[in-house]
Chain A
Amino acid sequence: MLAFIIRRSLQSVAVLVAMSLLVFVGVYAVGNPIDILINPQADQIEREHAIAALGLDRSLPEQYLSFVTGAAHGDLGRSFVHSTPALSLILERMPATMELALAAMVIAIVLGIPLGLWAGLKPRSIAGRAIMAGSILGFSLPTFWVGLMLIMVFSVMLGWLPSSGRGPTVDLFGVIPVSFLSLEGWRHLALPAINLALFKLALLIRLTRAGAREALLQDYVKFARAKGLTNARIIGVHVLRNILIPIVTVIGLELGSVIAFAIVTESVFAWPGMGKLLIDSIGLLDRPVIVAYLLIIVTLFIIINLVVDILYSALDPRVRVTESKG
């Protein structure tokens, strides 16, 4: 198990290095930030000062090298626009994104698994068909448009919920600002979280339904019935434990995708997270922030994948044994 974790971690580091190179070369070859960042009325000397200050006069390999040495010290460069370290700029925004992503994931799980189970147990019932139809619709509705419609209905027409921002935050453990500890924060969180959850909800419904239908056909379910177990026990323990393995894997992997998709929801609801920062930075060609964002998200993904792999082997006894043998 330990060897497995070490091997996987090394792989992850290799991917991270490759991605950082790709991202850096890509982003630093874009456009010309000098034109954007420096006042066009500035004279030649002022321009050169600014270029030197931002390190833009050096060659690409040199810029990358200084970037990597910096990154190793936790320094991902300074934002051209905000003149603050890019890393701290992003870390400041991270709790907002994480709160949104986790809230969305919780909504998707709490609703998706029971609904999918229901649709899987009673595929021919009206409720089962309605749940499936809803999930196809959930797949087909573009997130950003659903966000707009939520604003239209709940903010503009009904006036129940705010359409933008995070509302007042309360510091969790004295350091992490969160919205969910106050009623006003909840009101701000509700629409973005529902919006972001919708696609994953549809996905989880389908996954759970397919898993349940597959599991119900297995002999061990028939044997469990032959043992005289109650339906609650058969579904709650025998069926659920089996379909939970792929579901946990997918939930883990989808957490990364939710964080990525938060870019869209954050833009619609002006939610002050990393995703909105990224879109703003792309518009302003604020390269250090873009690179830092991408590196952080790649790192996040790699960590998530690693955790999912470990979790998977903890859940499925068959994998656990082959790993310990290997």
Chain B
Amino acid sequence: MPGAVSRRAVETPLRRIAGDFASDAIAMAGLALLCAIIAAALLAPFISPQNPYDLSQLDVMEGRLPPGSPAPHGVYWLGTDDQGRDMLSAILYGLRISLGVGVVATGFALVIGLVMGLTAASMGGRMEALIMRVVDIQLSFPAILIALILLAVLGQGTGKIVLALVTVQWAYYARTVRSAALVEQRKEYMEAARGLGLRPARIVFRHLLPNCLPPMIVVATVQVASAIALEATLSFLGLGLPITEPSLGLLIANGYQYLLSGKYWISFFPGIALVCTILSINLVADQLRDVLNPRLQR
């Protein structure tokens, strides 16, 4: 019996979540793929065959070579683009940019959404009505339309696309946080915390915030994927990142004109990298949603 008790004590929420998460093979495969992609992006300067943006290493004569062509450094496994750039290297560097933009934008949006949502939930009244009204109106328009308007207004640039992504996303977090916070506020431990005379800030940060986290984690995971997809789409349309910051979307756009002449690899492989990134994040998010949802716990 004491053995049973101590075993129970070791069963922390984190361990339970990790255990539940690991119970699905497809989700684990998604997680493994995601880890591999992140590692590849972080290590790009060390593992890619060439620095795709060091012009001295490029040779236009080597342009548009199909996958498997011999290269000075070995083999162009995924072919080259029109400027003779090794596609594998370009993709690894592109992943860095795509992931970076997605994560940074999600981070900012998360913070802004959290602050707005918690403000709405804890202040109530007019402030809440105002914030939620803006959220509602914004969410009734598709993200891509809002991002396009902003970029049409602001012009191009890395900072501007991050701003556009943040503007598109904060509303999702604000809504999620507010509804989670409203549910939490009605629970008894919140009454108890207030009854103990804790300062409001302490209540919000020590009690409300941790309990809003599970739904936020799920939303944030999904939103990183959609931020990456949206950035790629905008870059493809020529409204996203500048040519000096070639994300995966830009690489794909770059290969568009050669696609019709059968030189598929310039668009195809960056696309595969993009799909794998988004897919792996979505698989992880799907499983997280199930694991973190108390209603679905068996």
Chain A 276-296 against B: per-residue CB contact (8 Å), 1 yes, 0 no? 001100110000001000100
B148 and A282 within 8 A (CB):
yes
Chain A 27-55 against B: per-residue CB contact (8 Å), 1 yes, 0 no? 10111000000000000000000000000
A283 and B149 within 8 A (CB):
no
Instruction: Pick from A23, A137, A149, A163: contact of B268, CB below 8 A.
Output: A149
Given contacts A143-B233, A151-B259, contact A290 B145 (CB under 8 A): no
B275 and A279 within 8 A (CB):
no
Counting from the closest, the 5 A-B pairs by CB-CB distance are A140-B279, A26-B153, A145-B271, A257-B142, A260-B142
Chain B 268-298 against A: per-residue CB contact (8 Å), 1 yes, 0 no? 1001001100110011001000000000000
Given contacts A156-B262, A283-B238, contact A144 B233 (CB under 8 A): yes
A20 at the interface (CB under 8 A from B): no
Interface residue tally for chain B (C-beta within 8 Å): 40
**Closest B residue, CB atoms, query A294:** B149
- Whole-angstrom distance between the alpha carbons of A139 and B279 in the complex? 8
**B67-84 CB contacts (< 8 Å) to partner A:** none
B152 at the interface (CB under 8 A from A): yes
Cβ contacts under 8 Å, B249 to chain A: 142, 144
- Whole-angstrom distance between the alpha carbons of A156 and B260 in the complex? 6
Cβ contacts under 8 Å, A151 to chain B: 259-260
- Whole-angstrom distance between the alpha carbons of A143 and B237 in the complex? 12
List the interface of chain A (C-beta within 8 A of B).
15, 23, 26-27, 29-31, 136-137, 139-145, 148-149, 151-152, 155-157, 163, 253, 256-257, 260-261, 263-264, 267-268, 278-279, 282-283, 290, 294, 297-298, 301, 305
- Whole-angstrom distance between the alpha carbons of A157 and B263 in the complex? 11
Cβ contacts under 8 Å, A283 to chain B: 238
Given contacts A263-B144, A264-B144, contact A142 B233 (CB under 8 A): yes
**B177-204 CB contacts (< 8 Å) to partner A:** none
B236 at the interface (CB under 8 A from A): yes
Cβ contacts under 8 Å, B99 to chain A: none
Given contacts A139-B282, A142-B274, A142-B275, contact A30 B152 (CB under 8 A): yes
B144 and A261 within 8 A (CB):
yes
Given contacts A136-B283, A261-B142, A263-B144, contact A141 B260 (CB under 8 A): no
A137 and B279 within 8 A (CB):
yes
Instruction: Pick from B155, B229, B278, B286: contact of A31, CB below 8 A.
Output: B155
- Smallest CB separation, B154 vs chain A (Å): 8
- Whole-angstrom distance between the alpha carbons of A156 and B259 in the complex? 8
B149 and A264 within 8 A (CB):
no
**Closest B residue, CB atoms, query A31:** B155
- Whole-angstrom distance between the alpha carbons of A145 and B142 in the complex? 19
A145 and B252 within 8 A (CB):
yes
Instruction: Pick from A15, A152, A260, A305: contact of B145, CB below 8 A.
Output: A260
Cβ contacts under 8 Å, A143 to chain B: 233
Mind listing 22 A-B residue pairs with CB under 8 Å?
Answer: A31-B155, A142-B229, A144-B236, A145-B274, A148-B252, A148-B259, A151-B260, A152-B259, A155-B260, A156-B259, A156-B264, A260-B141, A260-B145, A261-B142, A264-B233, A264-B237, A279-B237, A279-B239, A282-B152, A283-B238, A298-B141, A301-B140
Given contacts A30-B155, A257-B142, A278-B148, contact A144 B252 (CB under 8 A): yes
A142 and B141 within 8 A (CB):
no
Given contacts A144-B236, A148-B271, contact A27 B148 (CB under 8 A): no
**Closest B residue, CB atoms, query A144:** B236
A-B contact count (CB 8 A): 108
Cβ contacts under 8 Å, B221 to chain A: none
**Closest B residue, CB atoms, query A253:** B140
- Whole-angstrom distance between the alpha carbons of A163 and B257 in the complex? 12
**B214-253 CB contacts (< 8 Å) to partner A:** 225, 229, 232-233, 236-239, 249, 252
Please name 4 further chain A to chain B contacts, defined as beta carbons within 8 Å, in addition to the given A268-B256, A282-B152, sorted by A numbering: A142-B249, A260-B144, A279-B237, A297-B145
- Whole-angstrom distance between the alpha carbons of A278 and B261 in the complex? 27
B267 at the interface (CB under 8 A from A): yes
B144 and A136 within 8 A (CB):
no
**Closest B residue, CB atoms, query A141:** B275
Cβ contacts under 8 Å, A152 to chain B: 259, 264, 267-268
B137 at the interface (CB under 8 A from A): yes
Cβ contacts under 8 Å, B233 to chain A: 142-144, 264
A29 and B145 within 8 A (CB):
no
Cβ contacts under 8 Å, A142 to chain B: 229, 232-233, 249, 271, 274-275, 278
- Smallest CB separation, A27 vs chain B (Å): 6
- Whole-angstrom distance between the alpha carbons of A301 and B145 in the complex? 12
A23 and B260 within 8 A (CB):
no
- Whole-angstrom distance between the alpha carbons of A143 and B232 in the complex? 10
A148 and B262 within 8 A (CB):
no
- Smallest CB separation, A79 vs chain B (Å): 15
**Closest B residue, CB atoms, query A285:** B152
Cβ contacts under 8 Å, A264 to chain B: 144, 233, 236-237
- Whole-angstrom distance between the alpha carbons of A31 and B153 in the complex? 8
- Smallest CB separation, B232 vs chain A (Å): 6
- Smallest CB separation, A13 vs chain B (Å): 13
- Smallest CB separation, A240 vs chain B (Å): 25
Instruction: Pick from A15, A30, A263: contact of B137, CB below 8 A.
Output: A15
Cβ contacts under 8 Å, A27 to chain B: 149, 152-153
Chain B 112-147 against A: per-residue CB contact (8 Å), 1 yes, 0 no? 000000000000000000000000010011101100
- Smallest CB separation, B269 vs chain A (Å): 11
